[in-house]
């Protein structure tokens, strides 16, 4: 889209502020165009959305493409690179360019803690396996907390067994529904049960595949601090380290690169349900920005008390659809 501007548009006004506007004018009569740059703080990098406001058409640049695209376009259409205010700090902008480019090449995938709502994760994982191979090829690291770490392990080490893992989850949920207090039943160990189930489908060399590529959120029993574990001495060691760290860090964000987040709770996340309410109010819960909505409170209950089979299948499909939507939006769908 940006190439359309080359040699055809002339810069008229260029502003730099929290709400920036670039007004360009076509080299010809009776034609004007307004470009609006909206800045927002989705993460530490102030990404931009470039929208073309035109009576008949709208163009957009995905938020992964950042401010340097705006600068390049402005310089190209003006033909007077030396007269733009950006030239004075070209080295800084160049560094920013490479920094963001490197970040976009380093992709991580993280699954939130969610108890029995892990069925949503399985739907998303299934979509990744079927339609997101382009994404999975560039994912450097997988991360997760609680049941999310189990799904991350399966997707990394044995993605062809996702459907088998889904069947096991349905059976496990059915058995848990028979308990009056669900996952809160005294003596009931959710993670131990899940470990026994998933252990049967992992390959013998799962720990070797996961070494320094899988990051599991765990909580220390001694001091209550959270740690991300990524070194596994053996397959049994990998399975044993699925200790629930969801209360201290329910959604690990890795320090290097972009972490794509998956959660069955609605919030400021890449892949999640989209709740609509009168007001968008968020709360930080175990390092997740979650919307305070009735639907999320219902989901919290379902995480501990698995819903019926029909609802479980619906949650699986919801995770699948949300992941497909994300892949399409980010141009990773195939």
State both tokens at 12: 């008229």
Q: Are 288 and 323 in contact (CB under 8 A)?
A: no
Annotation marks residue 146 as catalytic: yes
Catalytic residue among 146, 147, 149, 263: 146
Three-state SS at 160: helix
Q: What whole-number distance in Å separates Cα of residue 142 and Cα of residue 132?
A: 15
CA–CA–CA angle 246, 251, 254 (5° rounding): 130
Question: What values do phi and psi take at 266, rounded to 5?
Answer: -70, 135
Q: Are 128 and 323 in contact (CB under 8 A)?
A: yes
Q: By C-alpha distance, which of 143, 302, 291, 318 is closest to 230?
A: 143
Q: What whole-number distance in Å separates Cα of residue 250 and Cα of residue 103?
A: 23
Catalytic residue among 244, 270, 293, 322: 244
Q: What whole-number distance in Å separates Cα of residue 214 and Cα of residue 229?
A: 8
Residue 269 neighbours by CB distance under 10 Å: 21
Annotation marks residue 322 as catalytic: no
Residue 33 neighbours by CB distance under 10 Å: 16
Q: Active-site residue numbers?
A: 146, 244
């Amino acid at each position: 889209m940006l190439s359309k501007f080359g040699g055809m548009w002339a810069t008229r006004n260029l502003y730099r502020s929290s709400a920036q506007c670039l007004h360009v004018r076509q080299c010809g009569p009776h034609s004007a165009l307004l470009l609006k740059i909206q800045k927002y703080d989705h993460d530490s990098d102030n990404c931009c959305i470039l929208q073309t406001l035109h009576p008949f058409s709208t163009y957009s640049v995905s938020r992964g493409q950042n401010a340097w695209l705006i600068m390049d376009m402005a310089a190209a259409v003006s033909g007077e690179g030396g007269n733009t205010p950006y030239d004075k700090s070209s080295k800084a902008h160049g560094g920013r360019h490479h920094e963001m480019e490197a970040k976009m090449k380093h992709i991580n995938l993280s699954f939130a803690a969610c108890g029995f709502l892990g069925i949503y994760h399985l739907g998303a994982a299934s979509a990744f396996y079927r339609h997101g191979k382009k994404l999975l090829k560039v994912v450097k690291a997988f991360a997760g907390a609680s049941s999310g770490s189990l799904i991350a392990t399966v997707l990394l080490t044995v993605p062809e067994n996702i459907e088998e893992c889904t069947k096991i989850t349905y059976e496990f949920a059915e058995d848990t529904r028979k308990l009056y207090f669900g996952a809160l039943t005294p003596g009931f160990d959710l993670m131990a049960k899940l470990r026994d189930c998933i252990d049967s489908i992992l390959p013998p060399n799962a720990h070797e595949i996961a070494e320094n590529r899988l990051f599991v959120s765990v909580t220390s029993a001694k001091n209550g601090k959270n740690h991300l574990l990524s070194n596994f001495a053996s397959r049994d060691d990998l399975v044993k380290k699925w200790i629930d760290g969801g209360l201290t860090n329910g959604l690990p964000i890795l320090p290097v690169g972009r972490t794509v987040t998956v959660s069955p709770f609605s919030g400021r996340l890449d892949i999640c349900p989209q709740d609509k309410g009168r007001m968008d109010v968020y709360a930080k819960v175990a390092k997740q920005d979650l919307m305070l909505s009735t639907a999320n409170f219902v989901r919290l209950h379902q995480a501990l008390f698995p819903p019926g089979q029909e609802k479980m299948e619906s949650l699986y499909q919801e995770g699948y659809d949300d992941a497909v939507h994300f892949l399409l939006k980010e141009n990773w769908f195939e």
